[in-house]
């Protein structure tokens, strides 16, 4: 018989007075000036809260709640002078379950959402206003995948790839686009400099326009040829170590995940904060690290 999975939330949302919500952490002053915070502020001002806050009754008291997820949203609501917040009631008080499992939205996912919104009649100007960006940025994301083969899109769809990388991919033929996408994922390096190196190491017959795009500033033809050979060796080496590296990273991610789960328990976090503040700070830094995770993305909280 299959094991039943317990639900993580009460099926019905509730509206809770903001004064009854107790944050588990303070939003640092610098966060308020960040682009993420300003985007959330603009979004809430324009369309309201889309994703409810996650709360848990404090010591069983139905009138006071611990805030498990949504600290930035709560701060924005306070700034806007709101007195109530739409919330979901969690069935346990572990922040790990919610905040550590959020997947940040990738550029390809943003592209898909923009296309879907415009198909439903939402103007590009309206989207730009909600996200607090200029219209040109929205149009750039709208046209992001023009000239990119569907196989490369599938490889990169959940990855946080620099937007400029897609402009370089368009200079490659579909087969080379797939190879480069695989290399970006294998090395977990989605930066523009690395993409430029892969472009420079691409054989002319794999370029859409060899005469136009093969010129690389600061490199002689001999240096480009040497880079091509070295890149071929790198590709072979990457394939050999990919499996063992993946297992090692998985073990590290699991260990960090267990640590994050412990620290996500409000009682454990309070005890460590009171009795072992220095150790608690270091453990928090480890548990909040994202360098070992797949680069994924959603809308900011």
Report whether 263 contacts 272 (CB < 8 A). yes
CA 107/CA 192 separation, integer angstroms: 14
Highest mean pLDDT pick, 6-15, 46-55, 152-161, 204-213: 152-161
Task: Give the pLDDT score at 134.
Answer: 85
Task: Give the pLDDT score at 154.
Answer: 93
Q: Which CATH class is domain 14-99?
A: alpha beta
Looking at every residue in the chain, the average pLDDT score rounds to 79
* Alpha-carbon torsion (273, 279, 282, 283), positive or negative: negative
Q: How confident is the model at residue 227 (pLDDT cuts 50, 70, 90)?
A: low
Give me the helix-helix angle, 277-287 and 266-275, nearest 10°: 140
Q: Which of 76-85, 142-151, 216-225 has the lowest mean pLDDT?
A: 216-225
Pairing of strands 84-89, 21-23: unpaired
Domain boundaries, given as residue ranges, for the chain: 14-99, 245-287
**The pTM of the whole model exceeds 0.75:** no
- Residue 149 predicted with pLDDT over 90: yes
With 0-12 CB in 10 A as exposed, 13-18 as middle and 19+ as buried, what is 111?
A: buried
- Residue 99 predicted with pLDDT over 60: no
CA 165/CA 181 separation, integer angstroms: 10
Say how many residues make up the chain: 301
Report whether 184 contacts 295 (CB < 8 A). no
Report whether 180 contacts 156 (CB < 8 A). no
**pLDDT higher for 116 or 97?**
116
Q: Which of 113-127, 201-215, 252-266, 281-295 has the lowest mean pLDDT?
A: 281-295
Task: Give the pLDDT score at 98.
Answer: 52
- Residue 299 predicted with pLDDT over 80: no
What is the Cα 49 distance to its own chain's centre?
A: 20
Q: What are φ and ψ of residue 237, in 5° steps?
A: -65, -40
Nearest to 50 by CA among 119, 123, 131, 128: 131
Task: Give the pLDDT score at 21.
Answer: 92
- Residue 3 predicted with pLDDT over 60: no
């Amino acid at each position: 018989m299959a094991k039943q999975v317990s639900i993580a939330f009460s099926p019905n949302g509730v509206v809770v007075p903001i004064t009854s919500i107790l944050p588990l952490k303070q939003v640092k002053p610098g966060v308020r000036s960040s682009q993420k915070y300003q985007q959330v502020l603009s979004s809430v001002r324009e369309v309201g809260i889309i994703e409810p806050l996650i709360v848990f009754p404090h010591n069983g008291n139905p009138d006071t709640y611990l805030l498990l997820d949504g600290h930035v949203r709560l701060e924005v609501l306070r700034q806007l002078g709101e007195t109530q917040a739409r919330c979901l009631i969690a069935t346990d008080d572990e922040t790990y379950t919610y905040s550590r499992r959020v997947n940040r939205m990738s550029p390809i996912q943003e592209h898909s959402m923009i296309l879907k919104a415009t198909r439903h009649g939402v103007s590009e100007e309206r989207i730009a206003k909600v996200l607090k960006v200029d219209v040109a940025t929205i149009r750039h994301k709208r046209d992001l995948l023009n000239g990119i083969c569907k196989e490369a899109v599938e490889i990169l769809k959940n990855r946080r790839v620099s937007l400029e990388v897609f402009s370089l991919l368009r200079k490659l033929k579909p087969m080379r686009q797939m190879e480069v996408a695989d290399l970006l994922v294998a090395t977990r390096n989605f930066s523009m400099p690395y993409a430029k190196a892969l472009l420079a190491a691409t054989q002319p017959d794999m370029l859409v326009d060899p005469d136009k795009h093969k010129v690389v500033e600061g490199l002689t033809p001999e240096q480009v040829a040497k880079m091509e050979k070295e890149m071929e060796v790198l590709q072979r080496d990457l394939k050999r170590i990919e499996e063992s590296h993946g297992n090692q990273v998985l073990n590290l991610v699991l260990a960090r995940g267990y640590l994050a789960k412990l620290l996500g328990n409000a009682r454990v976090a309070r005890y460590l904060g009171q009795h072992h503040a220095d150790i608690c700070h270091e453990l928090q830094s480890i548990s909040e690290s994202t360098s070992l995770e797949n680069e994924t993305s959603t809308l900011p909280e």
